[in-house]
Amino acid sequence: MGRKTSADEPGPLVAEILRTTGQADEITEDVHTVVDEKALHRNVRHRSRFLRRQSATHGEFWIFQPVFEQFVRFDVVLGAEFEQGRQASAPLGIVHADLALQRFLPPQDGFRHCRTSTSRDTDRSWTDPCCDNKPRAGTFLSRCVNDRGAATMDTRKSSQRHPRYSDSPAESSGEHRQLLHDMGNELGVALGTAELLAQSEQLPASARQGLRTIAEAISRAGALRSSITLRNTKLLDAANLLTCQSAVLELIARKAPLSATLARLASGMEQHLPGTHCSILLLDSDSRLYHGAAPTLPDSYISEIDGMSIGPVAGSCGTAAYAGKPVVVSDILEDERWDAFRDLGMRHGLRACWSSPVVSPRTSDVLGTFAVYHNTPHRPSVEERVVVERFTHLAAVAIEHHRLFSALHESEERFRSAFTDAAIGMALGDREGRLVHVNAALCTDTGYDVDELHGTYVSDLISGDGSAEVRAAVRKLVAGTSTSYLKLHEYRHADGTLHSATVVISPVKDSEDRTRFVCLQLRDITDRLRIERETRAREAAERANLVKSEFVSQLSHELRTPITAVLGYAELLTQGGLPSDDAADCARHIMDAAGHLERLIDDTLCMTHADAGRLPIQSELIDLTEVVDDSLALTRSVAERKAVALRVLPTSSEPVALGDRQRLRQVLLNLLTNAIKYNRPGGLVTVRIEPAGEFTRLVVEDTGRGIAPADLPRIFAPFQRPGVQPGDPPGHGLGLAVAKKLVTAMGGRMAADSEPGVGSRFWVELPRHDETLEGVRTPWVPAQRCGENPVVLYLHSDLHSIEAIAEAQRARPRIRLRCVYQFYGEVEELIRFERPDLVVIDLDDAGRSRSLLNLVRRHPLTAEKPVVCLTDTTAETMPDDIGAPHFLRIPVDLSELLEIFDQKLPIPGEANAT
């Protein structure tokens, strides 16, 4: 086609536009030679279909579909105009608008994220999709694409994938921004061209209306472009925040130093808000803020605020930490909270500071502050507040995580140190009880090294039956049926010796309350037990010495009183000149004192033998009724003289107990004697037998004046007579002490209670026996016949003969010797009480000795017993009425006495020769 005439030249306005672009001639030539209404029509329709296809495939281009719909509608209008006559300027406007959109859209196969480009694609010129795939190298359209579109296409081809799938959010967002920037430029060109053409009078009215519609669509596309630009900016900011957050979380997960984590957080804040300075301060327990991170703040400023105290007017950070809420200071010069720090801030070029408290998400405690500084007065926007709030939360997570892990690490170190350095042996065992960790103390205590102990069981350390018990304890701890185990065990040392140790086993549980390990603590107490035994022995010896000293002191006092009487009356007798009656009284007092001494010595020996465990006790079935009857018979005469009634209450149970009959009779006589002596005239003594669980109780109750409650604990102590009043019967205070020791030696119990003014009650409890009385209550037989040691009763009148009798008893230790002054007490009661197997009597010229011998010969318990008389005369000179078959002269020949003992008292298992 040739060049058109001047009548077809563009109008002056269009020519001015083309001249300003520097391409008027070329565009005019291209318009005359290239523009073809059919090709243009086909091009618009094809590009509309292409855009719809791209819009469906790639969501980024949906906003441009309305623009191409306008092109389609304009194409219909323009087609009718071309039929009537082609206008040169109209195709020119379409070309420019089409050019603008083609500059933004990719070629049909150009996007790398649609399909991979090859080197052939890279070097190929843009192909017009509506012109049979051949380049239009000579046209304004193709030249513009080749000249100006290469940069855009190259930039878009530099990414191997769609921007949404790029490795770097910043890089893909940058490409997207560049894409939007190019689109905006081209939309501006197209919009300007369309508006100019719409104002041209050379175009038909319908064409101008179409161009205005296109201009409006392009304007809307520009608004959408601005909206997308803003959205992409926000997406980029969010991507940067996400990148920073990921980096911070990665540092936290790697347990990086807190300073590195906070520094990364602060630098990310500064990147997001260019021109700012970020600072993170940590709040200590002393309410001071210390440096955490500040990448761009001057070091001098950091050192000045490091360690600052918090308060209501302590700058932005100190006030925020104190108040627990954000503090915004838009201008440091005008805010009173910066009065103390204003000069410091101005020296370092700081004018605004916004600080937020870093609050623990777990405890809501203030951990520090997050501050943003500006070099100019500044008030944060809503978006900035949101971002800082997010960064502050990240700082709280980082600080809290660091503190928790630091506390956990310190706890682990403390546990490890406590376990390793413990002075007692410790070990950790698995759920089966196998040792997996042991400390040095356990190796020292057991004598084994670590390798020898690893893999062994906890129970393997314990010797004897304790091993099975420890295994069972471990199973209970693992099962949760027990919470701890503590017991004293013996364990075998590596050298073979047995040691004592306290064994403590406790469970070690996880967060789900399941037992993961068992903790063993083995404390060797062998030395401690030895020291304790030695200490107890030493203390017992000291107490024994003290008791012995007190006993000797009290005994000496008790001995001194009768000895003083003996010496005094003896001195009167030695002076002579006393009437016979007075001399007899002196002799009687001397004998009474001697009898008192004898009883005192007997009781003392009995008590000391009981303390030493050398007191002979025979356990047998006892008919308590018989013992009570015998004891009452011995004390009845004394009770009658005191006008005290004796009463025995009947019992509903079998009165049988286990004990020593002779010792029980001794105890009961003591209780009855005391009940009579300390009773009131006309009083009553009641004896009863009653069951008491596994014991049989024998109770003696009186109606005397009673014992004060404060004195009751002392009534069984030796030489104690609490509550004694003037005029009370004499005594040495050993009776109850001896009685309780005898009862204890028989396996029984003894106690008392009393009510002042009403009376006292003493009871003895002996082990109960379920057998009946059949065979228990038998006639009296000699002691040797029922298995008891024979009893020799010596009724002496001269203390010098006692030594000979004592020597005989030492030669025959199975013999029980009872020495009694013949003029003290009632011989009949003594015979009934002692039931002797042989009686030795001192005979003198006085008639009392003879009457005593007659009493012995007549008493049913001694009538058939052998009697030995000690005299200083011969048997031939003795009166015929004596009738004693055995006489020994004084001084007594020990061999003769032993011969009589051996003949009359046969003892199984003892030698019968001297």
Predicted pLDDT of residue 80: 39
Residue 768 has pLDDT above 70, yes or no: yes
Task: Report, at the CATH architecture level, how domain 616-767 is classified.
Answer: 2-Layer Sandwich (3.30)
- C-alpha 161: how far from its chain's center? 60
Domain 531-606 has CATH 3.40.190.10: no
Q: How confident is the model at residue 5 (pLDDT cuts 50, 70, 90)?
A: very low
Number of Cβ within 10 Å of residue 598's Cβ equals: 18
Distance (Å, whole) CA 328 – CA 339:
15
Cβ-contact 261, 398 below 8 angstroms: yes
Half-sphere exposure of 45 (CA within 13 A, CB side): 11
Report helix, strand or coil for 288. Answer: strand
DSSP H helix total and E strand total for the chain: 26, 23
Cβ-contact 268, 391 below 8 angstroms: yes
Overall average pLDDT of the 517-539 stretch: 90
Which uninterrupted H or E stretch holds 796? strand 791-796
| List of E strands, 797-872 | 816-821, 838-842, 867-871
Residue 897 has pLDDT above 80, yes or no: yes
Predicted pLDDT of residue 615: 64
Residue 267 has pLDDT above 50, yes or no: yes
Residue 600 has pLDDT above 80, yes or no: no
| List of E strands, 162-320 | 276-283, 288-293, 308-309
Lowest-pLDDT range of 197-211, 539-553, 581-595: 197-211
CA-wise closest residue to 360 among 386, 411, 395: 395
CATH superfamily of the domain spanning 783-904:
Response regulator (3.40.50.2300)
- C-alpha 912: how far from its chain's center? 75
Report helix, strand or coil for 744. Answer: helix
> What is the torsion angle, in degrees rounded to the nearest 10, for the CA atoms of residue 452, residue 455, residue 457 and residue 461?
10
Distance (Å, whole) CA 16 – CA 65:
32
Cβ-contact 467, 426 below 8 angstroms: no
Report helix, strand or coil for 411. Answer: helix
Overall average pLDDT of the 69-89 stretch: 38
Distance (Å, whole) CA 548 – CA 550:
5
Lowest-pLDDT range of 79-83, 571-575, 701-705: 79-83
CA-wise closest residue to 456 among 418, 496, 492: 492
Distance (Å, whole) CA 857 – CA 877:
20
What is the 3-state composition of the chain as percent helix, strand, coil, each rounded to the nearest 5?
A: 55, 15, 30
Overall average pLDDT of the 10-21 stretch: 43
Residue 389 has pLDDT above 70, yes or no: yes
Burial classification of residue 770, based on how many CB atoms lie within 10 Å of its CB (0-12 exposed, 13-18 middle, 19 or more buried): exposed
Q: Which residue has the higher pLDDT, 209 or 416?
A: 416
Overall average pLDDT of the 685-704 stretch: 90
Residue 612 has pLDDT above 50, yes or no: yes
CA torsion sign for 820, 826, 828, 830 is: negative
Contacts 24+ apart (CB under 8 A), 131-136: 131/39, 131/43, 136/34
Cβ-contact 453, 440 below 8 angstroms: no
Distance (Å, whole) CA 859 – CA 720:
37
Helices 37-57 and 89-104: crossing angle in degrees, nearest 10, is: 20
Q: Determine if residue 463 is left, alpha or beta; phi over 0 gives left, psi from -120 to 50 gives alpha, anything else beta.
A: beta
Q: Which residue has tokens 């430029």? A: 185
Number of Cβ within 10 Å of residue 690's Cβ equals: 16
Predicted pLDDT of residue 246: 83
Which uninterrupted H or E stretch holds 649? none
Cβ-contact 254, 398 below 8 angstroms: no
Distance (Å, whole) CA 603 – CA 413:
70
CA-wise closest residue to 31 among 57, 4, 52: 4
Predicted pLDDT of residue 911: 45
Helices 894-904 and 802-811: crossing angle in degrees, nearest 10, is: 50
DSSP state of 162: -
Predicted pLDDT of residue 724: 66
| List of E strands, 404-560 | 425-429, 435-438, 485-492, 498-509, 515-524
Q: Which residue has tokens 């003392």? A: 604
Domain 422-524 has CATH 3.30.450.20: yes
Residue 781 has pLDDT above 50, yes or no: no
Residue 359: strand pairing partners: 366
DSSP characters over 101-148:
HHHHSPPTTT-TTTS---HHHHHSPP--TTTTT---TTSHHHHHHHHH
DSSP state of 790: P
Alpha helices (H) along 129-273: 140-157, 169-199, 205-253, 258-272
Overall average pLDDT of the 681-685 stretch: 90
CA-wise closest residue to 556 among 597, 607, 609: 597
DSSP characters over 21-78:
HT-HHHHHHHHHHH--HHHHHHHHHHHHHHHHHHHHH-GGGGGGHHHHHHHHHHHHHH
Residue 898 has pLDDT above 70, yes or no: yes
Mention the CATH class of domain 255-412: alpha beta
Q: How confident is the model at residue 336 (pLDDT cuts 50, 70, 90)?
A: very high
Q: What is the mean pLDDT of the chain?
A: 72
Distance (Å, whole) CA 78 – CA 86:
9
Omega of the bond leading into 357 within 30 degrees of 0 (cis):
no
Over residues 848-863, the pLDDT tens digits come to 567 778 788 888 888 8
Is-same-fold flag (255-412; 616-767)?
no
Q: Which two tokens stand for residue 447?
A: 């004598």
CA-wise closest residue to 671 among 736, 728, 615, 758: 736
Residue 817 has pLDDT above 60, yes or no: yes
Distance (Å, whole) CA 684 – CA 192:
142
Q: Which residue has the higher pLDDT, 571 or 12?
A: 571
Predicted pLDDT of residue 197: 62
Lowest-pLDDT range of 86-95, 189-198, 302-311, 709-718: 86-95
Q: How confident is the model at residue 771 (pLDDT cuts 50, 70, 90)?
A: low
Residue 561 has pLDDT above 50, yes or no: yes
Distance (Å, whole) CA 362 – CA 851:
108
Lowest-pLDDT range of 410-419, 686-695, 724-733: 724-733
Predicted pLDDT of residue 577: 72
Q: Give the Å distances, CA to CA, from 661 to 654, 750, 792, 839.
A: 16, 16, 17, 21
Predicted pLDDT of residue 219: 74
Q: How confident is the model at residue 95 (pLDDT cuts 50, 70, 90)?
A: very low
Over residues 341-387, the pLDDT tens digits come to 999 999 999 999 999 999 998 888 999 999 999 999 999 998 889 88
- C-alpha 808: how far from its chain's center? 72
Predicted pLDDT of residue 114: 31
Residue 75 has pLDDT above 90, yes or no: no
Predicted pLDDT of residue 889: 80
Predicted pLDDT of residue 800: 52
Predicted pLDDT of residue 443: 92
Q: Which amino acid is at 452?
A: E
Residue 354: strand pairing partners: 328, 372
Asked whether the whole model's pTM tops 0.75, one would answer no
Predicted pLDDT of residue 831: 79
Over residues 487-514, the pLDDT tens digits come to 999 998 999 899 999 999 999 888 888 8
Predicted pLDDT of residue 216: 74
Report domain extents, the chain.
6-224, 255-412, 422-524, 531-606, 616-767, 783-904
Overall average pLDDT of the 585-605 stretch: 72
Q: Which two tokens stand for residue 356?
A: 């937020």
Q: Which amino acid is at 621?
A: L
Residue 827 has pLDDT above 90, yes or no: no
CA-wise closest residue to 788 among 816, 756, 826, 754: 816
Which uninterrupted H or E stretch holds 857? helix 847-858
Predicted pLDDT of residue 383: 85
Q: Which residue has the higher pLDDT, 514 or 62?
A: 514
Distance (Å, whole) CA 640 – CA 646:
9
**Strand duo 867-871 + 886-889: pairing:** parallel
Distance (Å, whole) CA 617 – CA 558:
28
Number of Cβ within 10 Å of residue 883's Cβ equals: 11
Q: Which residue has the higher pLDDT, 229 or 793?
A: 793
